[in-house]
Amino acid sequence: MKLYYLPGACSLSDHIVLEWIGQPYEIHRVAREELGSPDYLRLNPSGTVPVLQEPDGWTLTENVAILNYLADKFPLAGLGGEGARGRAEVNRWLAFLNSDLHPLFKPVFRPERFIDDEACQEKLRAKSLQRLRPYFERLDAQLHGRDWLTGTRSFADPYLFVVLRWAMAKGVDLSGLDQLARFHQRMMEDAGVKAAMQQEGL
Ligand SMILES: N[C@@H](CCC(=O)N[C@@H](CS)C(=O)NCC(=O)O)C(=O)O
């Protein structure tokens, strides 16, 4: 299995999951200019990471699909929740992270993709940072009395870790969100997280 990644991008969540699974895998660091190349677009027409490629050439895109696939392929890792409801709970939080929270970072990282005027870009970035706070409040509340988003460790947790790193780097106001601080600290001490981050040069 080969994971195509950009350092610190949402692909880091798959990378951590691969570490937690503990089976052999390869990684390929995608250069930014490679994302738009014909070869890469054949792998992923969206020109984004992550992409997971199996040795027979089959490739999978979309983080939600990749994380579910890894959990199903390696059930002994116990990252997909217990039973139908357990999986639904994991996907509830994964969907919140992937489809509500993650897109709000796009104007923070690349406001120029949304609006040409530079002064407006700054306003857009500032507004997006402000709008992110309530999402992190919800995540903090969910972590009250829990070490992991759904109570037990799952593939949603590394995704939370990734967006939390972005929030810290970009200056989202996380003041008073102590459960998130506790979660971040625990992830930073985790051997699999450390290994994935070291391999990505973070
Ligand atoms: N819907 C895709 C979105 C993936 C995505 O946004 N990837 C970002 C990194 S976190 C990316 O590759 N960005 C490169 C770019 O937009 O130039 C998924 O969930 O896998």
**Is the CB of 129 inside a 6 Å radius of any atom of ligand 1?**
no
DSSP tally for the chain: helices H, then strands E:
9, 4
The pLDDT, as a whole number, for residue 139 is 98
What the block records as the tokens of 139 is: 């995540």
User: Best of 3, 11, 17, 48 to mutate for ligand 1, by most ligand atoms within 8 A of CB?
Assistant: 48
35 Cβ closer than 6 Å to some ligand 1 atom: yes
**How far, in Å, from the CA of 48 to the mean position of ligand 1?**
4
- At residue 26, φ and ψ (nearest 5 deg) are -115, 160
Angstrom distance (rounded) from CA 155 to CA 94: 8
Asked if 51 contacts 60 with a C-beta cutoff of 8 angstroms, the reply is: yes
The verdict on the CB of residue 49 being under 6 Å from ligand 1 is yes
Class of domain 2-76+196-200: alpha beta
Q: What is the pLDDT of residues 81-134, one digit of tens each?
A: 999 999 999 999 999 999 999 999 999 999 999 999 999 999 999 999 999 999
Share of the chain above pLDDT 70, in %: 100
**Index of the ligand 1 atom closest to the CA of residue 98:** 19
Nearest-atom number in ligand 1 for the CA of 9 is 10
CATH top-level class of 80-190: mainly alpha
Question: Which one-letter amino acid corresponds to residue 71?
Answer: A
pLDDT in tens, 55-84: 999 999 999 999 999 999 999 999 999 999
Nearest CA to ligand 1 atom 5: 48
Q: Do domains 2-76+196-200 and 80-190 have the same CATH topology?
A: no
> pLDDT tens digits for 148-167?
999 999 999 999 999 999 99
Indicate whether residue 104 lines ligand 1 (CB < 6 A): no
Cβ of 10 closer than 6 Å to ligand 1, yes or no, is yes
Give the 3-state secondary structure of 133-177: HHHHHHHHHHCCCCCCCCCCCCCHHHHHHHHHHHHHHHCCCCCCC
Per-residue pLDDT, 129: 97
Ligand 1 near 98 CB (within 6 A): yes
Name the 3-class secondary structure at 9: coil
* CB 148, CB 154: distance < 8 Å: yes
Query: What is the residue with the minimal CA distance to atom 17 of ligand 1?
Result: 48
Q: DSSP letters along 42-67, please?
A: HH-TT--S-EEE-TTS-EEESHHHHH
| pTM score above 0.85 | yes
Q: Enumerate the domain spans of the chain.
A: 2-76+196-200, 80-190
3 sits in which H/E element: strand 2-5
Question: For residues 23 and 197, what is the distance between their CA atoms, to the nearest angstrom?
Answer: 17
User: Ligand 1: does its nearest atom lie under 6 Å from the Cβ of 150?
Assistant: no
DSSP 3-state of 201: coil
The reply to whether ligand 1 has any atom less than 6 angstroms from the CB of 68 is no
Question: Could you tell me the distance, in angstroms and rounded to a whole number, from the CA of residue 145 to the centre of ligand 1?
Answer: 32
